[in-house]
Amino acid sequence: MPTLFTFFTIRKKIRSSVTPEAEHLGKLPRLALATVLGFVGMLAQPAHAQEELPASSPQSTSQSSSSPELGTSSSGLGATDAPQSDSPQDDRSRLSNAESLVAPASLSSDQIIHILQQNPDLVVELKSQVADRLQQQGTPIDANDISDQMLYSQIATNSDLRSNITTFLRARGYVSQDDLQSLGSSPSGGPAAAGLAGRGTTAGVADPDKLAALGLSSSLRGDGSADTIRSIRSTGNAPDNDQTRGREAVNASTDAPKVLRQPAPYNLQSMRDLYTQVPEQTASLKRFGSDVFVNRDVSAASRNGAGRDTPLDVPLGPDYVLGAGDTLTVNMWGGVTQSLNRVVDRDGRILLPDAGSLDVSGLPLQRAQSLIEDALKKQYRDVKVTVTVSRLRTVRVYVVGDVQRPGGYDISSLATPLSALFAAGGPTGAGSLRVARHLRGEKLVEDIDLYDFLLHGVRSKDAHFESGDTLLVPPAGAQVAVSGAIRRPAIYEVKPGETTLDAVIDDAGGFTAAASLANITIERIDANRQRETVTLKTSGIENAAADHVAIAEFQVKDGDRIRVAQILPYSQRAIYLEGHVLRPGRRSFTEGMRLSDVLRSYQDLLPEPASNGEIIRLVPPDLHAETINFSVPDVLIGNGNVDLQPFDTIRVLGRYQVDAPKVTIQGEVLRPTSYPMSKGMTVAQLVRMAGGFKRDALLATADLTSYGVLNGDRVTGSIATVHIGAAVAGTEPGADVPLKPGDILTIHQITGWNEIGQSVRLEGQVAYPGTYGFREGERLSSVLRRAGGLRETAYPAGAVLVRDQVRELEQKSREELIRQIETSSASARLAPNLGSGDSGATLKLIQAQQDQVLARLKSEPPTGRLVLHITADISSWESTPADIELRQGDVLTIPKRPGFVLVTGQVYNATALTFTPGKTAAWYLQHAGGTSDTANRKDIFVVRANGSVIGRHSGGLFDPAVLATKLDPGDVVVVPQKVIGASLFWRNLLTAAQLASSIAITAAVANL
């Protein structure tokens, strides 16, 4: 149970976490709120100090990369870059990742919240189940009173709740055990996170946003939306053959819309759909085309001179112009068969066998082959020749401007400007991707637009490089950022003449199907003055053709940030079905739709629906909620039909969810408990529901307690007798009584059933020791006679009868005595007249004595001995008070005659002395050496062999003193220890403790 401090701590958190809306709508009592937040045992669990309560429903926060990306300037801000501010890292994201690694059996808070955000139906169902559970536990609460913030706060702070919700998600198929195990072994969720995010979507495939929300690349914001995941960019130390592209942010029309879900006043799916906002995009965009130049290893190899030996892996045409450095392969056949490899030297010549040198530099490949063939035919008869270029020459090209690594590069003579850019690492963030100038001296050979290749796969004519050529990448021109409902959000460079919005959208892949053409906004920079917001003037959704015309005519400017908003994130023509139905969820709405079109028959409902249902209607224009009740049986037979409207929620509850009628059976049945009362249930049906009678059930009669309401203001009860055996067997007409809600049926037990199988055990000096059954009320003398009576060696005065009930009472008394000793104050131990200077040393002695007495009390268990006064002649005490009734479990031990008297306690020689008839306790004490200095001579007592005690206050006025008592064999003389401390209360307390610890001695003597 939680402590009072825990309760007030949680109550403080409750007050700080409840929103004004929740307080206004719910008006929950504090105790009910504490119970809600204590769902599944949470009240007894302290909140984690290191985790914070989210201020609202969670949403993701994008984090900008700390490492400079390739193709983007590492210094300065572009015109399209949004102003950035430093924000602290969200600790909850790191804690959630750690939780997923340490406890794979439970999802982290961010993962659970993201799944709930992507599947709002789960939130509604989860709240309903929480409310149902609390109502079953006796806390009246409505699911509408549980706000999103309360639920999310507890998910973020309580591990028990996360474990229970994980089990709930597993039962619904959103999480599998394999996913949980994979989460525990893979960093940041690993592949399993993809599987988790993919469940519950249309296609069942994880998208990057869901992967991000599960801990791979982004965290969750306080408002509950998953932000767009940024691409994972490769670095320069990637493997040589790694050509994998980074994970990109893709806007697919099949993706669930990213929205902010505000707390809804009612736990309705229709309300949750309407209480959504389309968030502003906060993720930073990257420049389109920068990923093309991710692989830097090719450029590094080129700078190291690897391009000189570039092998030829493409065929060359006859127009290829030979130059110094080309490697030619000359194949001859006919009069001679031979293959020659010749390199064109710096003078442009090759050396042929027997034909001398031949000048081929500057000649097309076809012309050079003719010259070589003519020269060789003069030396060889009927020879035929083919000439191919087996290895290309390299040319020195200078790549300058805004590139990653400007400088000179030796590249293949067939290399294109794009190849040169790859060698130089691509443009910087400030370099242009639309304009690259190929210069030969002061002559402009051509301008290259990389967008033609990146967007359309079209390569320009690309004039070949010659040694000394220059490739210049100027600064980037006008740039605009496009985001929102388009297929490829990014930053795009705009060329002069292509500045219409239509052209920019076309470069961005076009609109998605979820784009709202009537909601396009442009954040614009009024050059050198200010920022302003421009809204594109369109005609709206009624005239899409006019919207496209407006988009085609709108001119963009440098620095524009264009955002294309989405259409409404919910359907405006939908109704909702929930509760005790077979297929809950959304349904399409059509004009003229009626309630019977949704609830057609009992096959659309789960078993035993309630007789009444309700329609929660959102009434325009402000869409406030109203409830319309209807009769489920009337609707199913075609009566009482209701016209439906968009956003209607049809709710049908189960019969046992609406003030569930219950009846209770108790007593001698197999499964006594409370049962839901079905229609027309009788006492016989209730008995069968409880598994039937037990063997000890009284079948003649049973009690039926019924309750009713009198005059609507008070409850009355009545008890009736039911012939339950005849009712169940069906042998007596009218015996089977119908039940009413709240009835309690009690099945009695047959009289004396518990006494069946009772037995006692006789041990020691009886003729036939063993276990004996006995009838109710049978006495000790009867059982002893059946056991053959006592043997001649028996000592009946020392008989020990142990009874369980006596042991339990003795144990409780001993525990109370120990508690009094332990809790007694120092003032109760000391005498009132004791000086303060002596109290310290005295208390130490008292404490030592107390520890000694407590150790004896705790080490010696209670015996449960019952004092007997019997003799060997059973007839002499038969039917007297000494002839006690037996009880189940009694154990009677008849010892042999001991032949000694035991002297124990504070004596010089604690020992057993041979019994001498007629001697007193003083005589035995004297022969034991007398008392020691620590003995309390006034409180010496004698424990008789039968368990009775003789003390100084046990006799009458004229009875002899304790030491003058004549002893019998087996008696024990106990000399207690002198009690330290003059307080009368303390002396009496410890004396009683010493007596209690000595009683067990006589029981032990009987077994000697």
What's the pLDDT tens digit per position in 83-93?
444 433 344 44
**Secondary-structure breakdown of the chain: helix, strand, coil percentages, each rounded to the nearest 5:** 30, 25, 45
Residue 734 to residue 754: CA distance in whole angstroms: 32
Q: Roughly what angle, to the nearest 10 degrees, separates helices 91-102 and 109-118? A: 100
What's the pLDDT tens digit per position in 301-320?
444 443 444 444 455 778 77
Four-residue CA torsion sign, 711, 717, 718, 723: positive
Sheet strand arrangement including 478-484: 490-494, 478-484, 561-566, 515-526, 530-535
Give pLDDT, residue 540: 58
What would the mean pLDDT of 635-641 be, rounded to a whole number? 86
Cβ count near 181 (within 10 Å): 13
Q: Is the pTM of this model over 0.75?
A: no
Residue 451 to residue 462: CA distance in whole angstroms: 14
What would the mean pLDDT of 142-159 be, rounded to a whole number? 79
Quick one: pLDDT band at residue 94, thresholds 50, 70, 90?
very low
Give pLDDT, residue 956: 59
Quick one: pLDDT band at residue 96, thresholds 50, 70, 90?
very low
Residue with tokens 């490769």: 234
Residue 542 to residue 294: CA distance in whole angstroms: 45
Residue 96 to residue 215: CA distance in whole angstroms: 8
What's the pLDDT tens digit per position in 313-369?
455 778 778 888 888 888 988 878 888 888 888 888 888 888 888 888 888 888 888
* C-alpha Rg value of the chain to the nearest Å: 49
Give pLDDT, residue 687: 94
Lowest mean pLDDT among 411-415, 435-439, 496-500: 411-415
b vs e for 923-943, b when ≥16 Cβ sit within 10 Å of the residue's Cβ? bbbebbeebeeebbeebbbbb
Lowest mean pLDDT among 197-201, 437-441, 808-812, 843-847: 197-201
What would the mean pLDDT of 497-525 be, rounded to a whole number? 88
What would the mean pLDDT of 666-692 be, rounded to a whole number? 92
What would the mean pLDDT of 512-527 be, rounded to a whole number? 86
At 317, list the tokens: 């045409």
Quick one: pLDDT band at residue 981, thresholds 50, 70, 90?
low
Short-list 778, 748, 755, 822, CA closest to 993: 822
At 945, list the tokens: 């062999």
Whether 195 has a pLDDT exceeding 50, the answer reads no
Provide the β-strand partners of residue 649: 576, 616
Give pLDDT, residue 1007: 62
Quick one: pLDDT band at residue 220, thresholds 50, 70, 90?
very low
What would the mean pLDDT of 856-883 be, rounded to a whole number? 85
What's the pLDDT tens digit per position in 269-279?
888 788 887 77
Instruction: Answer yes or no: are the C-beta atoms of 201 and 118 closer than 8 Å.
Output: yes
What would the mean pLDDT of 555-563 be, rounded to a whole number? 90
Average pLDDT, the chain: 75
Whether 425 has a pLDDT exceeding 90, the answer reads no
Residue 988 to residue 205: CA distance in whole angstroms: 81
Whether 589 has a pLDDT exceeding 90, the answer reads yes
Where do runs of H (alpha helix) occur along 287-430?
Answer: 297-303, 365-377, 417-423
Q: Enter the DSSP assignment of 287.
A: B
Give pLDDT, residue 831: 54
Lowest mean pLDDT among 525-539, 709-723, 823-837: 823-837
Give pLDDT, residue 364: 86
How far, in Å, are 608, 610, 658, 804 from residue 633 at the CA level?
11, 9, 16, 62
At 425, list the tokens: 């690492």
**In 3-state terms, what secondary structure has residue 552?**
helix
Sort residue 123 into left (φ over 0), alpha (ψ -120 to 50) or beta: alpha
Highest mean pLDDT among 106-115, 442-451, 692-701, 943-952: 692-701
Quick one: pLDDT band at residue 448, thresholds 50, 70, 90?
confident
> Between 540 and 91, whose confidence is greater?
540
